[in-house]
Structure 1
């Protein structure tokens, strides 16, 4: 899920529409994190083509102009490939007072670290296996997911004492990599109540069975005499309500294209849920997500796409084909090059 070709040329000075980085600008944040995710794709290509750590390496052009450097060498590596990287912000020299631009308010601080995860490269077998695991809701068995959690946990220990806590580390990913970033961020909220800024580009949400589940939930709202079903679902409902209350403060940035079949389930889910909430007096978010919960689990197993709260960015720009709609390159464009709409969805406890 999420192959992104490395044939595209990139201006080594950085995106042409960003002359001065504003870390508080939504468009800049989106473009920069997308570029860093792109860098993880190129890091793997550099490795396979023998360009890594050579003057011919192409990946560094994707982070240098943002005053970033690779925090670890080698980057995050799986059994046979690079699947992610940690980038560290290196403050540029301060301009002399006479050359500094006056600001009406202090600029937004940059993150200290950004952890980026790439999507699927079709020739990398572990990527395909992890895609299948996501479809089967077995991502907890994937080494990539477990290692990503470990790396970020270590990074947070290293960042202890740096001011800004939750803003010190950002997470970003595309497609399969977005699922990894989502999993890491969600786990930190559940276990440590840490809400890391998270940027999710085209994460997979295969939703073919969701219609039936949501229809079942709607039927429960209007059908009388469902006492048996209600009693059976009570432990499940309480567990999921507690989980959703924990996750509610975490609001990742979710970027999807309306024609992308791989992640269109998110659009369908949130729009349908908003309609259901208007029709039903009870919150059925947990049921509509279709979670698998065991009462004796410390943290219940959840679907890879579980997001109770989110800021959804929908790109309605016309594309030549559905496959093109899944490309990461859309999100590196300036706002004027995208037909964007956004809406914030917050779980109501």
Structure 2
């Protein structure tokens, strides 16, 4: 049973110069929009994630409380619910699905928010990982609309090191002979499993593995059990072309790469008027603290708040580390109360 809605976007022209015909944006809302339309939170999805995988941060008594706020979770293009290689008809299907930027995604999310709901002010935008990338875009692209942002375990621009890590994931997936340059009839299972093994060395910290947290905190029987069940199980549920589409979006993430800022990252960061708490993980191998330190330095109303954790990138989701979730939830409550 479908628990989300589709917003019809029509034919969408992208930054790439290509068009997605009859594009759809999948979304789910939680709570009720108040009469003043000022209780709005936008909470974008992350790499491979769909709206239900954001729900661990939503609930009564939490910062993202649907009894108080109207929470919109838009699904990224390429994630299998919004327009994606896996659900778009020829000629733009599979390997021919156009390249999509975070700028494209947020423009379309803005259309959803304004056209479907008539919203003019957003109390908060927040997101993990690629959701954080979209959060930065919201702040820079719509500075008079967005009052607060809290990007966690993510950055405003994909670093060169991050780009290289993702090249490893991409190469592992595409090396499977069954991939057939994206025109596979069945999912390239060997490639998905190999990509998951690459990811496993980056998603969690050295200390996580050194302390056997896969066994003691998560309860797996062995390291191999963890690699197969947690990591391979995650990617085997996904479509390879969808993953590669989102990976391209991630690698080309940059809040300044658009007509508004012309590639000037400092100008883009300086345009963010929203009150911001930026929350990196102390052990994140994708998005090190130093990247966020640079960003906060150039944001006019931002605070850097490092999460001290052994959970690496997964300190922020999807609901894996209870202690880190509590730290994040308290920061969100503080920001919303400010």
Identify whether the pair has TM-score above 0.5, normalized to the shorter chain.
no
TM-score of the aligned structures, taking structure 2 as reference length: 0.37
TM-score of the aligned structures, taking structure 1 as reference length: 0.36
